[in-house]
């Protein structure tokens, strides 16, 4: 396989995953805005935190003067200058897909191409408040359709594995970023507070990874306990957006590549290391050494894996 093909598969999956993550973050922001006002400027702060979780608050401030729903929605859905806007994600994903069309199945290509065609027909000013939720649902559905098309049709060779790398590195990045933005709420000392504000903050976190129901099935807490939330998203394998789940998949695809290519690459060691840390981790330890530090370290390792993959497999 060409190095460029591997790279395009990697980024294509990453950007499809990101489009879904962006839609989910916006969905949470929207839900919160429907709650009765909380404290001074509560909603504005929440839109701000949506931007921070999406990692695009800096870019936003360069473009807009005011943080409000309309501006945030515009920036995160349609802005071409925001490389993580849904529009940019879909555009980049499709460009990558076009450049490796020969490596994709027809189903994968058509699901992505149709998404792009339909998305580009949407006029930003038509997306009024009441139309936003269904648009966000649609974006998530399209990403799921693509994933389904991929899982259902793609050969389980290096094509598959490079796509998985992209999808799960992105997902792990997203989950760790969401956790880090709210990490102060997840510290054990917060456990006792449990007021209305925190309650909705926790459910925000869970919702932004589509896990508010799942959480209850695992923990059966009457109210979410903050450090359970942290554990759920970091260490519980059952949770498909948890860090350890992402790295279980990554490790599996790493093994897959190792088997196909018959050799071990440095990136494999990096992935394995992170995986082992997560496997050996427990929350007491993580809290003791600092949740924020733990997450920062995770993000660094996760980024290092991308760089290592690019070097090992000639992404250039």
Partner 1 sequence: MADTSFFNEMLTADGTPRAAYKQLDGWLEQFPRSDLKRLSREAETIFRRHGITFAVYGTDEETERLIPFDIVPRILSAQEWRRLSAGIDQRVRALNALIHDIYHRQEIIRAGRLPAELVVQNEAFLPEMVGHTPARQVYAHIIGTDIVRVSENEFYVLEDNTRTPSGVSYMLENRETMMHMFPELFQSHRVAPIEHYPEMLRETLESVAPPACDGPPTIAVLTPGIYNSAYYEHAFLADTMGVELVEGRDLFVDDGYLYMRTTRQPERVDVIYRRIDDAFLDPLTFRPDSTLGVPGLFDVYRAGRVTITNAPGTGIADDKAIYSYMPEIIEFYTGEKPILNNVPTWKCEDKDSLAYVLEHLDELVVKEVHGAGGYGMLVGPAASKKERAAFARKLKARPGNYIAQPTLALSACPTFVGAEIAPRHVDLRPYVLVGDKVRITPGGLTRVALKKGSLVVNSSQGGGTKDTWVLED
Residues that bind partner 1 (CB under 8 A): 1-6, 95, 98-102, 106, 109-110, 113-114, 117, 158, 162, 261, 313-314, 316
Least CB distance to partner 1 at residue 156 (A): 16
Judged by beta carbon, residue 307 or residue 314, the one nearer partner 1 is 314
Judged by beta carbon, residue 46 or residue 312, the one nearer partner 1 is 312
Task: Tell me how far apart the alpha carbons of residues 258 and 179 are, in angstroms, rounded to a whole number.
Answer: 32
Task: Tell me how far apart the alpha carbons of residues 41 and 118 are, in angstroms, rounded to a whole number.
Answer: 36
Task: Tell me how far apart the alpha carbons of residues 106 and 109 are, in angstroms, rounded to a whole number.
Answer: 5
Least CB distance to partner 1 at residue 2 (A): 5
Judged by beta carbon, residue 2 or residue 35, the one nearer partner 1 is 2
Least CB distance to partner 1 at residue 247 (A): 21
Buried b (16+ CB within 10 A) or exposed e, 288-300: eeebeebbeebee
Name the CA radius of gyration of the chain, rounded.
Answer: 19
Q: Which residues contact 95 (CB under 8 A, 6 or more apart)?
A: none
Least CB distance to partner 1 at residue 311 (A): 11
Q: Could you give the 3-state DSSP secondary structure of residue 39?
A: coil
Least CB distance to partner 1 at residue 78 (A): 17
Judged by beta carbon, residue 162 or residue 232, the one nearer partner 1 is 162
CA atoms within 13 A on the CB side of 148: 7
Task: Tell me how far apart the alpha carbons of residues 314 and 306 are, in angstroms, rounded to a whole number.
Answer: 12
Q: Packing angle between helix 42-53 and helix 3-34, nearest 10 degrees?
A: 170
Least CB distance to partner 1 at residue 232 (A): 35
Judged by beta carbon, residue 134 or residue 314, the one nearer partner 1 is 314
Least CB distance to partner 1 at residue 314 (A): 5
Judged by beta carbon, residue 101 or residue 129, the one nearer partner 1 is 101
* Token pair for 197: 């504000």
Judged by beta carbon, residue 106 or residue 216, the one nearer partner 1 is 106
Task: Tell me how far apart the alpha carbons of residues 131 and 145 are, in angstroms, rounded to a whole number.
Answer: 21
* Token pair for 252: 């599996």
């Amino acid at each position: 396989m060409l190095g460029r093909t591997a790279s395009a598969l990697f980024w294509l999956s990453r950007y499809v995953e990101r489009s879904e993550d962006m839609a989910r973050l916006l969905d949470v922001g929207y839900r919160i805005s429907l709650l009765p006002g909380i404290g001074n400027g509560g909603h504005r702060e929440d839109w701000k935190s949506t931007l921070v979780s999406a990692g695009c608050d800096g870019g936003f401030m360069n473009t807009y003067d005011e943080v409000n729903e309309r501006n945030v929605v515009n920036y995160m859905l349609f802005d071409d200058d925001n490389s993580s806007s849904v529009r940019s994600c879909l555009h980049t994903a499709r460009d990558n897909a076009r450049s490796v069309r020969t490596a994709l199945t027809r189903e994968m290509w058509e699901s992505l191409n149709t998404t792009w065609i339909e998305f580009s027909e949407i006029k930003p000013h038509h997306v009024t408040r009441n139309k936003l939720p269904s648009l966000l649902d649609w974006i998530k559905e399209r990403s799921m359709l693509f994933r389904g098309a991929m899982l259902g049709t793609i050969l389980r060779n290096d094509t598959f594995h490079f796509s998985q790398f992209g999808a799960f590195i992105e997902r792990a990045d997203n989950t760790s970023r969401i956790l880090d933005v709210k990490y102060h709420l997840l510290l054990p000392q917060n456990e006792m507070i449990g007021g209305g504000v925190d309650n909705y903050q926790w459910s925000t976190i869970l919702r932004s990874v589509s896990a508010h129901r799942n959480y209850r099935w695992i923990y059966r807490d009457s109210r979410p306990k903050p450090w359970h939330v942290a554990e759920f998203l970091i260490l519980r394998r059952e949770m498909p957006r948890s860090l350890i789940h992402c790295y279980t998949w990554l490790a599996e695809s790493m093994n897959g590549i190792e088997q196909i290519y018959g050799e071990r690459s440095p990136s494999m060691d990096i992935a394995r290391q992170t995986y082992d840390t997560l496997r050996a981790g427990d929350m007491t330890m993580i809290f003791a050494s600092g949740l924020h530090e733990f997450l920062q370290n995770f993000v660094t390792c996760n980024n290092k894996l991308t760089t290592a993959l690019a070097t090992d497999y000639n992404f250039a």
